[in-house]
């Protein structure tokens, strides 16, 4: 991988965390948690979250949801100085969770993405934020790019050597989805978000220069992108 990606050092977060308007905190989370911890995390969930967890057919998916949502609550509770079970969520039109009730006054924005037992949680203050995480696996990237990307982007992927196409496809996908999650738009808008992207250049959003994109290598075979409104960011990487 080229140095267009950040390969950060993940450090243990302090016992008390705070966040300023220029800060972006990225938390790396393993969803493979001991059963006793999963039981404690389940106790922090709301009734609707428990009902959602029970709808998963596979036990692994159920446990990943409980771990992801429970740890999200624990992370946010540190910024809000409350208990994890006190965190309240509401949902935007396209399903993006946001802080609800009196907690929306904190101006804390967050977003969570997970893939193959790994999760990233992005947190900011005042600024909108989105994150996407993908495990790179073999896919029919030519057909998918034709369906979901712009004509120019699809043609660019097809013009690359076969060994480069998968990486570029996942870079497009994570950057677009991070931006769409930050703005609260749905995935149906994927082809309407056009990126400036090349194998050795950082990604940029052509249609909206008010946003900052940065790409991460959080683990082997994983790619991630974070979209944040504005610039002048101070990024910290925490290991949960």
What tens digit of pLDDT does each residue of 12-41 get? 988 889 999 999 999 999 999 999 999 999
- Residue 134 phi/psi, 5-degree rounding, is -135, 140
Mean residue pLDDT of the chain comes to 92
* CA angle centred on 191, ends 196 and 211, rounded to 5°: 45
User: How much is the pLDDT for 1?
Assistant: 44
- Tell me the residue ranges of DSSP E strands in 31-141: 89-91, 97-99, 108-115, 118-125, 129-135
- Domain coverage including residue 147: 133-231
Q: Could you tell me the pTM of the whole model?
A: 0.93
Whether 61 contacts 52, CB under 8 Å? no
**Does 143 lie in the same domain as 124?**
no
**Does 137 lie in the same domain as 119?**
no
Q: How many domains does the chain have?
A: 2
**CATH code for the domain of 77:** 3.90.470.20
> pLDDT digits over 93-132, tens only?
888 899 998 998 899 999 999 999 999 999 999 999 999 9
Q: What distances in angstroms separate CA 59 from CA 55, 117, 119, 126, one per listed residue?
A: 10, 13, 18, 37
User: How much is the pLDDT for 16?
Assistant: 87
Which residue, of 109, 128, 147, is where some domain finishes? 128
Least confident of 10-19, 87-96, 184-193, 218-227: 184-193
User: How much is the pLDDT for 79?
Assistant: 96
The answer, yes or no, to whether residue 236 has pLDDT greater than 90, is: yes
Which residue, of 111, 128, 145, is where some domain finishes? 128
User: How much is the pLDDT for 194?
Assistant: 82
Tell me the average pLDDT across 146-166.
92
**Does 123 lie in the same domain as 176?**
no
């Amino acid at each position: 991988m080229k140095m267009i990606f950040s390969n950060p050092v993940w450090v243990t977060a302090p016992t008390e965390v705070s966040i300023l308007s220029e800060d972006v905190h990225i938390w790396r989370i393993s969803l493979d948690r001991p059963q006793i911890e999963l039981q404690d995390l389940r106790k922090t969930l709301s009734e609707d979250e428990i009902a959602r967890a029970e709808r998963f057919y596979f036990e692994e998916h159920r446990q990943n949801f409980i771990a992801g949502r429970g740890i999200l609550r624990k992370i946010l509770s540190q910024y809000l100085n409350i208990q994890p079970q006190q965190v309240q969520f509401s949902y935007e039109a396209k399903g993006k969770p946001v802080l609800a009730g009196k907690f929306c006054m904190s101006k804390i924005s967050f977003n969570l993405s997970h893939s193959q037992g790994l999760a990233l949680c992005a947190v900011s203050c005042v600024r909108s934020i989105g994150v996407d995480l993908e495990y790179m696996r073999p896919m029919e990237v030519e057909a998918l790019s034709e369906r979901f990307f712009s004509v120019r982007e699809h043609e660019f992927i097809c013009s690359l050597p076969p060994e480069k196409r998968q990486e570029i496809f996942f870079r497009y996908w994570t950057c677009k989805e991070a931006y769409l999650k930050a703005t609260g738009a749905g995935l149906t808008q994927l082809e309407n978000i056009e990126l400036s992207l090349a194998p050795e250049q950082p990604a940029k959003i052509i249609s909206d220069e008010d946003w900052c994109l940065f790409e991460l290598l959080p683990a082997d075979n994983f790619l991630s992108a974070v979209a944040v409104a504005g610039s002048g960011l101070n990024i910290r990487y925490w290991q949960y």
